[in-house]
Amino acid sequence: MGVASVQFHSAGLGKSVEYHVILPERGDGPFPVLLQLHGLSDDASAWLQRANLVRHVAHYPLLVVLPDGGTSGYLNWRAPERLGQQNYEDLLMRDIPAHLARHFNVRPGSWAIGGLSMGGYGAMRLGLKYPDRFASIWAHSSAFHIGQMATGDWFADPADADISTHARALANAATRPVISFDCGLDDELLQYNRGFHRELDELGIAHHYAEHPGGHTWEYWDAHVQVALAQHARVLGIA
């Protein structure tokens, strides 16, 4: 598998940014896309350096995009002009898709999205908010409480940061993505995953939730991302 590192100017952040792309070995394209998000203490290279993601996706005709979300939660933040723009949702939903379409052989239509911890929250929130853009979601060990931690005017829209806002909206949507998430039994975020599972049940939103032995570790994520990839491939029609 080849990996490309791409730099381009993001209008959402108002600066040059980098993302990585795992390029498929098989198939002639155009290729469906998986947007895979990192956690709070990592960066765009984490899934490459700390997991076996490249090997896991080798037999799928799938283009995997690894953006850098900093410590943003993949949200649009309020920021004084002199400190620059902090519109990370715009980076993922507008800037990177447009750049990919210009420079890679990308298949039109819905993508898949996944991530861990902060990236699990980001994947679930964006997947629920944009059901027309994402057909498959899988979140690992997710920090679903990020939106509830907002104080003052951190975010451009505090209600938009609350994942429950988008779950309630999806309950009335005509189209829903395939939704899955998991968490380790020794993970400090387990209570938030159990709570979100109950919330989806109460809203009548079909989903798959699983708990497994393990904690908030790369050993756990590397093991369970393989199941997530199988779901994405099935939903995207490339299994």
What are the tokens at 23? 């390029």
CA 35 from centroid of its chain's CA atoms: 6
What global pTM score does this model have? 0.95
Rounded-to-integer distance, Cα 45 and Cα 179, Å: 25
Q: In which band, very low, low, confident or very high, does the pLDDT at 25 lie, cut at 50, 70 and 90? A: confident
Residues 133-186 have pLDDT tens digits of 999 999 999 999 998 876 657 776 778 999 999 999 999 998 999 999 999 999
Domains and CATH numbers, the chain: 2-236 (3.40.50.1820)
What are the tokens at 213? 């032995």
What average pLDDT is seen over the chain?
94
Rounded-to-integer distance, Cα 173 and Cα 105, Å: 30
Query: From residue 208, how far is each of 28, 193, 228 by CA, in Å?
Result: 32, 12, 11
Rounded-to-integer distance, Cα 127 and Cα 112, Å: 8
Residues 193-230 have pLDDT tens digits of 999 999 999 999 999 999 999 999 999 999 999 999 99
